[in-house]
Chain A
Amino acid sequence: MLKVIAACGNGMGSSQMIKMKITKVFKKLGVDVQVDHNSVGAATSMASNYDAVFVSQNFVNNFANAAGRGVKIIGLKNLLSEQEIEEKIVEAGLDKK
């Protein structure tokens, strides 16, 4: 099963929003996935336990280390756009896992 984490500044706002939206898109794509969420601070140290990290575009650079270890870092511009989320999931090959 795919394991992903959504992260934002504090773990109570946009990360929850991202979690809800990506859960919906993964379901639509028929991908079996576990979606967690946390603050960026906590998520950076946990990132290598996951296949992918979903964050606002602003936070992509915080995950440079994890990206170097092969974790997919997905930066979103519009957190509410299922189209953008789906395109980026497909682009990263996460629908094939």
Chain B
Amino acid sequence: MLLKELVEKKLTCYEEGFDDWKDAVKANGVPLKNEGYIDDSYLDAVIACVEKYGPYIVIAPNIAMPHSTEGAPGVYKTGIGFMKTERPVHFDPNDPEKDARLFFMLASNDSEAHLNNMMQLADMLSNDDLVADLLNAKNDEDVLAVAAKYSEE
């Protein structure tokens, strides 16, 4: 189960909220930075990417997937950083459908491992009940409970 793995690898964080989406992206990257997956240059690239292409990283209501390119400078390991905020972060002031509270930052320098992560992420996020439970999670303990609840499926 991907969620359990993210907790075990210390790639999770929980925040109240952010007025600026750029601060949210940076906070999402902190655990990945601490664990040696990325450095600040990758976070700058992710922010530049959103500025260039718009808030397409909000892939579904409440769900953002910040990332730049595979093998980008500043990426040292392949993994996903998870952040949950209590307040929605606005990526487009005119479009509430581009608000996010669940953040999954992608870092990859290994396309095979990344694809495996993405398949697990797609499966997980396609489960509306799981997403609803995750929106109520406030800490690692809650996330592990969500992981346990859905891991038999």
Binding site for B on A (CB under 8 A): 8-14, 16-17, 20-21, 40, 56-59, 77-82
Contact = CB atoms under 8 A, between A and B. Distances in A.
Question: Which 7 residue pairs are nearest across A and B when measured between Cβ atoms?
Answer: A56-B56, A58-B56, A9-B53, A79-B59, A80-B60, A10-B69, A12-B70
Interface residues of B, number: 27
Contact of B56 (A11, A14, A20, A21): A14
B144 interface: no
The B interface, classified by DSSP as helix, strand, loop or mixed, is mixed
B97 interface: yes
Contacts of B17: none
The A interface, classified by DSSP as helix, strand, loop or mixed, is mixed
Contacts of A8: 56
A58 B54 contact: yes
A77 B58 CA distance: 9
